[in-house]
Amino acid sequence: MNVHDSEKMAGILSETGYMRTDVTNDADVIVLNTCSIRDKAEQKFYSELGRLNKIKKNRPNLKIAVAGCIAQQKGEILFNKFPYVDYVLGPNNIDSLQEWISSRAQNKEHRSQTTALQINPEYHTKTLPVRREGRVRAWVSIMYGCDNYCAYCVVPYTRGRERSRSSHDIKTELIKLAKDGFKEVTFLGQNVNSYGKNLLEDSSFSSLLKALHEVDGIDRIRFVTSHPKDLSEKLIKTMKELPKVCNHIHLPLQAGSDKVLSLMNRKYIFGEYMEKVTMLKQAIPDIAITSDIIVGFPGEDDADFNMTINALDEIQYDGIFAFKYSKRPDTKALDLPDHINESTKSARLKKVLKLQEEITFGKNKRLEGKVLKVLVEGPSNSDKSRLTGRTGNNKIVNFYGDEKDIGQFVNINILQARQHSLFGEKV
Ligand code: SF4
């Protein structure tokens, strides 16, 4: 979500005549797009801001804007603590960047130290320019905000209540992406399964998928994130029926204990989650399932934690993102009793990651010798002499190929499994 927001900010800056630079010292405007999902990300932002302050001392005309969830939460406080910040905009006000930049560029009104923090109820009706990374896969926002109020999460407070974009606007964006040569799209939303709740048109996520499946030129459709409570049998059936919808779902479990799930306000119990996993595996046998796990949530005792370990063992995810619970301002979990100490959280995280590494590697290993269809994205980040791409079920595959393979589907014989990727040769 944040990466795509950054693409929108880059799109606005490009349209206003700014060019991207990778050299911080060359920049006239720097926008820091922040994330406050965990304390670590927030601390990283503050240290980056300190670094920019040093640059600004030598170049006083440099303008610094802070965007994203920390901007939304802290607002004016950022000006008081960091007087060298010029502009603060929340995730619902990305379009305001255009006005701020234009007024600066034309020198009509020097709007230093202003904020744009209203949660704009019409934000989802706007189509912003986007400067996309890559030319094969594209992110497309289908909804904003969240109504779920999980006890550990700041998103409903920083991004506001759930609002869906109209299917017409999304389809128009997809048609343009197809014209521009993109082959794969990933629909973004905090909870894509509840798409359409606020719309007057009769729309569910299943019907949206069916409508967008018709767009010629788009060959693969992904979506993220799915809330388990809203994953319906109808949606699973739609995933099975539509060939362009990839065989992968990110379905955050968070914890294996019903007690912890209830404290987290996740609105499902482990048994219900497992029923959906079983349904998915029966409908789409080669589906890859990935998840998010939080360890050390307040009140999680050893028995609760072991239920998470057992869940990983039983479900056999293809991959997970696992984190230690992190205290976040304004969230309900702050007031819960029995916060877990850091060393216990670290030990639990280590155990979860070790188990999942074994599972992921075992799954990758079973793909050796198989021929997989890969959509080629471009040179690999770790080794520019190789190309990288993904299978439908989201396995990263690296191989030696030609420039002309980029944007094409190629068949790759898997020679070697690695922890987070596969290596193979073109067939
Ligand atoms: S579903 Fe829960 S974790 Fe996800 S964005 Fe909404 S409140 Fe946060």
Separation of alpha carbons 86 and 83, rounded Å: 8
Domains of the chain: 2-116 (3.40.50.12160), 134-246 (3.30.750.210), 250-365 (3.30.750.200), 371-426 (2.40.50.140)
The set of residues, in sequence order, having a beta carbon less than 8 Å from that of 74 and lying 6+ positions away, is 88
Contacts of 26 (CB under 8 A, 6+ apart): none
Q: How far is the CA of 241 from the centre of ligand 1 (A)?
A: 28
* 324 Cβ contact list (under 8 Å, min separation 6): 294, 295, 296, 342, 345, 346, 348, 349
Ligand 1 and 227: CB distance under 6 A: yes
- The tokens describing 182, both together, are 């993109």
Per 3-state DSSP, what percentage of the chain is helix, strand, and coil (rounded to 5)?
Answer: 40, 20, 40
Instruction: Work out which ligand 1 atom sits closest to the CA atom of 266.
Output: 2
Task: Quote the pLDDT of residue 306.
Answer: 98
Amino acid present at 146 = C
**Which pLDDT belongs to residue 105?**
58
Task: Count the helices and strands in the chain (H runs, E runs).
Answer: 13, 17
Can you give the pLDDT at residue 109? Answer: 47
Q: How many CB atoms are closer than 10 A to CB 40?
A: 12
Non-local (6+) Cβ contacts of 236 within 8 A are: 276, 279, 280, 283, 284
pLDDT tens digit at each of 427 positions of the chain: 889 999 999 999 999 899 999 899 999 999 999 998 888 888 999 999 999 999 999 998 899 999 999 999 999 899 889 999 999 999 988 988 988 888 765 554 444 567 778 777 777 888 888 999 889 999 999 999 999 999 999 999 989 899 999 999 999 999 999 999 999 999 999 999 999 988 877 789 999 999 999 999 999 999 999 999 999 999 999 999 999 999 999 999 999 999 999 999 999 999 999 999 999 999 999 999 999 999 999 999 999 999 999 999 999 999 999 999 999 988 999 999 999 999 999 999 999 999 999 999 999 999 999 999 999 999 998 888 999 999 999 999 999 999 999 999 999 999 999 999 999 999 9
Give every CB contact of residue 286 below 8 A, 6+ residues apart in sequence: 247, 393
Q: Walk across the sheet containing 319-324 and list its strands.
A: 248-250, 288-295, 319-324
CA of 168 to the centre of ligand 1 (A): 26
β-strands 163-164, 184-188: how paired?
unpaired
Q: Which amino acid, residue 393?
A: N
Query: What value, to the nearest 5°, has the Cα angle with vertex 311 and ends 310 and 316?
Result: 105
Q: Which of 141, 146, 159, 292 best tests ligand 1's pocket when mutated (most atoms within 8 Å of CB)? A: 146
Region of 112 (left: φ > 0; alpha: ψ -120 to 50; beta: rest) is: beta
Q: What is the reported pLDDT for 103?
A: 76
How many A from CA of 188 to the centre of ligand 1?
13
Residue pair 89/12 in contact (Cβ under 8 Å)? The answer is no
30 torsion bin: left (phi>0), alpha (psi -120 to 50), beta (else): beta
Contact 221, 209 (CB under 8 A): yes
Answer whether 155 contacts ligand 1 (Cβ < 6 A).
yes
Q: Quick one: pLDDT at residue 111?
A: 47
Residue nearest to ligand 1 atom 8, measured at CA: 153
Ligand 1 atom closest to residue 156's alpha carbon, by position in its atom list: 7
Helix axes 205-213, 167-179, angle to 10 degrees: 30
